[in-house]
C-alpha cells in the first residue's frame, strides 16, 4: 500500500480507538476553539469536511443556533458511522464525500470548517478550490493544522522510539502527514492557487495534552491513527509490542502517573 493510501486509511477498529483515545487526548480543545470562532458569525448553513468521528460536529451542534443547518462529511464512511453512533445535541446531516469533489451546488454554505483534515488531502489546491466554489461570497473557510512534530511532544517521542524498533524503515506517518503541513507560506500558496484572494489569518494555539497514564497516548497514536498501518506492514503481529515500546518511551520522558505533553497547532481563516 502506498503512503498516500495508507495515510488516509481509517478502517477496521481504528475509528473506535481514534474516538476513545485520540479525541480526548488532543482534539477536544481545538474542536471547541473552532466552534467558538464560528459562533461569532451570522450563519445559515455550515459544511464540515473531514469530520472524522464528529468531535467538531458535536461542538458545532451545541454552539450554533438550532436554525443553522450543519452538514458533516468525511471520505471514510467508517468514521461517519462512528460519529453518527455517538450522536449530536441536535440533528445534523452526515454525508460521505470527497473534499476534492464536493457534491453540492455553487455558493451553498456560509462557512466551511475542517479540523486537522487538510493535511490528508492529496491535492490541496483542488480541494481548497472546491471549498471556495461552495462558499457564498463573504463566507469563511476555517481550518486547523498541527504544527511541526517537535512542537507536539507525545507524537515526537513515539516517532523517535519506533525509529529504534524499525531502524531500516522508520514509520514516519506522524511526521509526514499530520505534522507535515505546518509552513504558513505553503498554506498561503495553496489557498492562492485555489482562487482565494483575501489574506489568510493564521494564529498558533498551544495546549496541554493530558492522560491518566502513558498507555493512553501509546494506544491513541499506535492504534487510533494510520501509524498502525505502518507498524503492521513492517511487523505483522507486532502492534502490541510497538505500542508497549511507545508507552515505555512516554514513561521515561513524562513519568509513571499522569502524563502531560505539549501540543501545538495553527488555526487558519480565509474569506471568499
Q: What is the pLDDT of residue 12?
A: 64
- What is the per-residue burial (b if ≥16 Cβ within 10 Å, else e) of 20-31? bbbbbbbbbebb
Among 178, 165, 185, smallest CA distance to 232 is for 165
Class in CATH terms, 3-271: alpha beta
Q: Would you list the domain boundaries of the chain?
A: 3-271
pLDDT at 200 over 90: yes
Give the residues across from 120 on adjacent strands.
none
Among 199, 4, 121, smallest CA distance to 130 is for 121
Q: Per-residue pLDDT tens for 161-188? A: 999 999 999 999 999 999 999 999 999 9
> What 3-state DSSP class applies to 15?
helix
Question: What is the pTM assigned to this prediction?
Answer: 0.93
CB contact set of 141 (below 8 Å; sequence gap of 6+): 111, 112, 128, 131, 132, 135, 196, 269, 270, 271, 272
Q: Per-residue pLDDT tens for 24-54? A: 999 999 999 999 999 999 999 999 999 999 9
pLDDT at 120 over 60: yes
Amino acid at each position: 500500500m502506498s503512503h498516500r493510501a495508507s495515510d488516509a486509511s481509517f478502517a477496521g477498529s481504528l475509528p473506535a480507538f481514534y474516538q476513545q483515545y485520540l479525541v480526548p487526548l488532543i482534539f477536544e480543545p481545538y474542536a471547541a476553539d473552532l466552534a467558538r470562532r464560528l459562533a461569532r458569525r451570522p450563519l445559515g448553513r455550515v459544511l464540515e469536511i473531514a469530520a472524522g468521528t464528529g468531535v467538531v460536529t458535536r461542538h458545532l451542534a451545541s454552539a450554533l443556533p438550532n436554525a443553522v443547518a450543519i452538514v458533516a462529511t468525511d471520505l471514510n464512511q467508517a468514521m461517519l458511522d462512528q460519529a453518527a453512533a455517538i450522536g449530536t445535541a441536535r440533528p445534523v446531516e452526515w454525508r460521505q464525500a470527497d473534499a476534492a469533489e464536493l457534491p453540492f451546488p455553487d455558493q451553498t454554505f456560509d462557512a466551511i470548517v475542517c479540523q486537522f483534515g487538510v493535511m490528508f488531502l492529496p491535492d490541496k489546491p483542488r480541494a481548497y478550490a472546491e471549498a471556495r466554489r461552495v462558499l457564498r461570497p463573504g463566507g469563511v473557510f476555517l481550518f486547523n493544522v498541527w504544527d511541526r512534530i517537535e512542537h507536539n511532544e507525545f507524537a515526537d517521542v513515539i516517532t523517535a522510539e519506533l525509529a529504534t524498533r524499525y531502524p531500516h524503515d522508520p514509520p514516519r506517518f506522524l511526521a509526514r502527514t499530520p505534522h507535515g503541513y505546518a509552513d504558513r507560506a505553503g498554506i498561503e500558496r495553496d489557498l492562492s492557487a485555489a482562487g482565494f484572494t483575501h489574506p489568510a489569518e493564521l494564529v498558533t494555539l498551544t495546549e496541554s495534552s493530558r492522560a491518566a497514564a502513558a498507555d493512553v497516548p501509546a494506544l491513541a497514536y499506535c492504534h487510533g491513527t494510520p501509524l498502525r498501518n505502518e507498524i503492521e506492514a513492517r511487523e505483522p503481529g507486532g502492534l502490541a509490542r510497538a505500542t508497549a515500546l511507545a508507552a515505555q518511551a512516554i514513561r521515561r520522558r513524562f513519568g509513571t502517573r499522569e502524563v502531560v505533553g505539549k501540543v501545538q497547532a495553527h488555526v487558519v481563516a480565509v474569506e471568499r
